[in-house]
Chain A
């Protein structure tokens, strides 16, 4: 079998562009990235199917000259799945826009919280109950340490739930 170099390069470019886009934070861009990656993988299947041949119908081509139909069947399945995923991700992006006014994929908040605790070198309230007989109100898990108030900066809203902001807050 000889691999078709053009197809390999096309697949590579598609997948590279897709990976670049999935590293973005906006779901719509991630979606475009996912679509590009899927198409790249589909092209890979064409590489996998070997040399192109005639249509794989009995009687139309001698069996030796047929192109391999199996990868095509697989690609067909993959395309259908990609269609479904794309629709679902679009719906998610729209729902996210409905709820938040943007479709940014935000960080896990609980995670940021625990990171804050670690940076402030505090233990969480659930570490030892007897240390806190009086303040079992949710005391913001060690987040009640002093933080200087500061003027909002214009770019805050873009990053407010990203790790950078958690780090900024402590500096």
Chain B
């Protein structure tokens, strides 16, 4: 049964190889990808039930002598994250398939998209199942690499611009992660999470604190926690809708998952509550203030994404079981809802031709279905009862009140304010895009057409203009400036020498924000249907909230005593009562603090 643990990683990788081999046959690619996605969801469901009934599942890959080699571990937390992420990935995949089938606007070059998407899901699964720090790093790298390709897919000007920031941030955070791993290995002589849990508690407090801060910094970059979150709203909105959706749902949550793991398993004795609480508060408040200022739906959602990461950090920072349960529930909820919203915004873009609130209007009359699809997850995100967002927030508030320190109260207040401002932002979208009349001079023609007429001349990369998707072969400096205004958005350029006037800044911003103005068209059924499925799943989270919250509480209880994890991985003989109460044989874990001579790896086995 333990061999099931390899499947969520292996199946997508094999699928990626197959789809790459069949890159000339889109139909085969779709079937392979679809089959893999469904199979992985099935595996994840099985794992959740296995874990819940029989306890933590552990696989020592290759059956090497025990503390050597790679471990895959699924406990309650991993299994739940795996299930939610695979379900969301599969839905997004079917959505993108609907988009591919719609020939009017093919945003995703099929031959690259499918393998990359599968590799991404393999990376996410690997990160959730990793039982050692280095495998976690590899999981991160797999998913990051796939995301580099996906975020710059098509290599239009906007995507190259925003992708550059994303890639550089990703690479630097990976370097920091490697540094952290080197430091951890130098201090403890192992990278196995279970062994680390034991040995880190033996280190001197200073060394241990440094390692903890290093790891937290790395994961905070990935999770977009406040001082390290600026990269996210800049880079996400330009990618195609399915890509943004899956990024928003999963990538940051892998960071959150790693933070939970680090805090509960590796450093259970040092919760760093104050630091994390401030980070959570600032993430929530500053993120949502950013969202309120936006007039572009995708950007607004990217900011709410950052803001709501704060809720999860809030739960973790409390350092209590109730806080953890709330954080885990909120993570599961947020993955689903945020993905749904981004998919629906993809539909809005399709229907209205843009995602700028200044140009949209009257969508509720044109497409009531779209209104429903947007309204439910939007209210869920804001936390309107009885939806799952409300339940998750209540859980977190309760945990915060239980802790009862002034800082915890401040956090509760901050998260209430954030929740209200989220409601405000969502209501703004609703009022502008759905409720109001169509803006007057846009009413005689679809808004996107107006826009593309105004701006079409400047677009080098839009399919709607005369030049097609062909990019200029010559550097723009040699290019005649289009539109006669002196400086086009394409200018770099020593040749033109004028500064951009504000209106061009505006147009350029729209280019980048919209990811291109599209011809408004009816929403293809498969896309609407898959978005609908996710909306229903979001409501389903509310319906099953009782059992799900129970599961999250069990997960939190399990995380609260790291001995469970250690015992399950290293065998019950190793340590039954975990590192907290661990006062046993020093010689057993070897020269923990002394570090890394060659035989040290076998140290913890005895």
Which residues of A are in contact with B by a Cβ distance under 8 Å? 1, 3, 22, 27, 30, 34, 37-38, 41-42, 44-45, 47-51, 53, 56, 63-64, 66-71, 74, 77-78, 81, 84-85, 88-89, 92, 95-102, 104-106, 108-114, 116, 124-126, 129, 134, 136-138, 140-141, 143-144, 147, 152, 154, 156-157, 160-161, 165, 169
Contacts and interface: CB of A to CB of B under 8 A. Distances in A.
The 10 tightest CB contacts between A and B, nearest first, are A101-B475, A143-B502, A136-B439, A48-B186, A126-B295, A126-B357, A101-B476, A48-B182, A1-B595, A101-B477
B543 interface: no
Interface in B423-465: 428, 431-432, 436, 439-442, 451, 454, 460
A156 B495 CA distance: 11
Contacts of A27: 164
A157 B311 CA distance: 43
Given A64-B598, A97-B475, 20 more contacts: A1-B597, A41-B182, A48-B183, A50-B186, A56-B598, A63-B599, A71-B596, A74-B134, A81-B145, A81-B174, A101-B492, A105-B161, A105-B165, A109-B512, A138-B356, A138-B451, A141-B295, A141-B506, A157-B492, A157-B494
A60 B293 CA distance: 66
B405 interface: no
B509 A68 contact: no
27 contacts: A3-B186, A34-B168, A34-B171, A38-B178, A41-B179, A48-B186, A67-B598, A74-B191, A77-B138, A81-B141, A84-B145, A85-B167, A85-B171, A102-B475, A108-B162, A110-B512, A111-B234, A114-B294, A116-B505, A125-B295, A129-B431, A134-B440, A138-B356, A154-B497, A157-B494, A160-B487, A161-B500
A99 B439 CA distance: 34
Contacts of A126: 295, 357-358, 428, 432
B490 to A, nearest CB: 7
A96 B134 contact: no
B358 A156 contact: no
B476 A100 contact: yes
B195 to A, nearest CB: 13
A156 B499 contact: yes
B299 A110 contact: yes
B160 A99 contact: yes
Given A48-B185, A74-B181, A38 B441 contact: no
B519 interface: no
A68 B597 contact: yes
A100 B442 contact: no
A136 B599 contact: no
Given A81-B174, A96-B160, A125 B597 contact: no
A109 B598 contact: no
B126 interface: no
Contact of A53 (B472, B497, B598): B598
Interface of B: 134, 138, 141, 145, 148-149, 152, 155, 157, 160-165, 167-168, 171-172, 174-175, 178-179, 181-183, 185-186, 191, 234, 293-296, 299, 356-359, 428, 431-432, 436, 439-442, 451, 454, 460, 471-473, 475-478, 487, 490-494, 496-503, 505-506, 508-510, 512-513, 594-601
Nearest to A51: B597
A18 to B, nearest CB: 8
Contact of B506 (A63, A99, A101, A113): A113
A138 B175 contact: no
A88 B147 CA distance: 12
Given A98-B473, A105-B165, A136-B442, A38 B598 contact: no
B432 A116 contact: no
Contacts of B510: 138
B441 A124 contact: no
A131 to B, nearest CB: 13
Contacts of B432: 126, 129
Nearest to A117: B293
A98 B505 contact: no
Given A1-B596, A141-B295, A156-B499, A45 B182 contact: yes
A110 B513 contact: yes
Contacts of B161: 96, 105-106
Nearest to A100: B492
Contact of A165 (B174, B497, B499): B499
Contacts of B599: 63-64
B505 A136 contact: no
A36 to B, nearest CB: 10
A2 to B, nearest CB: 10
Contacts of B491: 157, 160
B509 to A, nearest CB: 4
A109 B168 contact: no
B598 A69 contact: yes
B295 A92 contact: no
Contact of B472 (A47, A99, A161): A99
Contacts of A137: 441
Nearest to A133: B440
A83 B338 CA distance: 34
